[in-house]
Amino acid sequence: MEAEYLRHGVPLTGYQLSQADHRRQHEAVQVHEWVQRQLAQAPRWSDERWEKMRQLLGPSTSAWELQRWRLRLYCGHVIEATRLRERPRPDGGICDKERCPECGLDPAVIVAFEPLGPVADPSPEKRSRKPSRSTRKPPADRRSRAELVAENEALRAELDALRDQA
């Protein structure tokens, strides 16, 4: 099922910053500065460690899994960016800010956005590669809640019977 993509602050060029936008930008700058201080104190990773991390994270995201967005940043510049297609907003989760390629503001909070379309359409075999959570079969070793409740009650009855014998 395709996500229903949301819009905010359209048209992007006429968007006026709100108090919430100023607050979010201030918080983003504070978090960014804190992270930079922590990274400066951290030991450097070896090439082998970086390679292990790349292997753990797996292959990069395919183009058909990405959605294009037009974003207005806190600095006022309008850019294009990509996000996972499954998300209805480009500013949700951990991607609520960008580095502005025009003025260099980093981080620049996303204050307005509109969807542009998918980066690429999936081929028919890619569409059926990952079934949605609702259509996926549970693993064979997973039991339903009712089965677990029944087993729990049976075990409690057995425990009570053992206590009575003692």
Give the pLDDT score at 39: 92
Element (H or E) spanning 27, and its range? helix 19-41
pLDDT for 57: 87
Supply the pLDDT for residue 59: 81
Q: Domain coordinates of the chain in residue numbers?
A: 12-121
Segment 47-82, tens digit of pLDDT: 999 999 988 988 888 888 899 999 999 999 999 999
pLDDT for the residue 137: 55
Global confidence as pTM? 0.66
Residues lower than pLDDT 70 in the chain: 1-2, 93-94, 123-141
* Rounded Cα gap, residues 101 and 112, in angstroms: 17
